[in-house]
Amino acid sequence: MHPKLLLAGAYRTLFLGTPAPRPDPLILWLIPMVGRANAGDWNRACALLAETLASLEAAHYRNWRVLLCSQDRPEGFVEGPRHAFVQAPPQDMAKGLSDQSVKARLLARHAARTCREFAYVSHLDADDLVHPDLPGWIAADNNGCGYLVDKGFMLDAQSGRIARMGTAPGESPFWKHCGSCGYFAVDFGRQKFPAFHLRLIGKGHLNYAPRSRRLGRPLAPVPFPAMIYLVNHGENVQTRRGHDKMVYLARCEVTDPEEAARIYAAFGLRKRDEPAIGGLIEVVRAPRAELA
């Protein structure tokens, strides 16, 4: 058995009681972002982050926060009641192409220091898109354990082509491809060692379900396609590791233009007239008065 599974069992026995969710839970997104020195194109990475943040701003549920960790603060990222920046140390490339696990630990510690609410915590990549109904659905269901996104879509940032994930037989579930798939219940105000709880879950999305079960917090499936995994923009960690996601996209592509249009509308997306540095797709921004 993996050591983290053993530790999770011990932590559950010693420190976790029966889940006790509270009304109007906080939805907390932890975003580890590549630094300027290691980005393929820093301006493109910032443009992709802007679309991710725009998808959060479009959420109908408003009790949420974002913690962003990087070596460099992206231009346009302004700290406020819902946004905070966590400074990361310089990346040691000798330890691998990605330092997301380091940033995940820093984000968990910062959350434990600054949050006092019952929350559903998610590791969100700085290029993925959230369905506007997802935070509100989680808050309304509020099962006290957490959720796993197994239905969603893969979207080609350059062409706008889209593929289904986990919606029918033969399709791979969303959580097998994308790390932005888990929402974990953490009671920051009452729970002992909440940062350690998040560390036990870790950043590897293939381990989210078994480790959450071991903690006594099994993840329930979200019943609708709730996330978009954005690919083919040059900043995906999996692409740097040689994993070609376009093979899956071609196999499960949505070829009906009307169906693709419905998916775009559900996520509040549109195609730009001309590709921008972050790709062809953008999130439709609502007027500021609607976001209050």
pTM score: 0.92
- Here the CATH number for the domain that contains residue 33 is 3.90.550
Cα–chain center distance at 207: 15
Q: Domain count of the chain?
A: 1
Nearest by Cα to 115 from 33, 174, 30: 30
The count of other CB atoms within 10 Å of the CB of residue 126 is: 24
Domain ranges, residue 151: 3-291
Q: What is the pLDDT along the chain (292 residues), one digit of tens a residue?
A: 677 778 888 888 888 878 889 999 999 999 999 999 999 899 999 999 999 999 999 999 999 999 999 999 998 899 999 999 999 999 876 666 688 889 999 999 999 999 999 999 999 999 999 999 999 999 999 999 999 999 999 999 999 999 999 999 999 999 999 999 999 999 999 999 999 999 999 888 999 999 999 999 999 999 999 999 999 987 655 554 445 789 999 999 999 999 999 999 999 999 998 888 989 999 998 654 344 4
Sequential DSSP letters for 166-220: SSSTTSPPHHHH-STTEEEEEETTT-SSHHHHHHHH-S-GGGHHHHHHHTT-PPE
Give residue 94's pLDDT: 61
Tell me the β-bridge partners of 32.
69
* Beta-strand relationship, 129-130 and 227-231: antiparallel
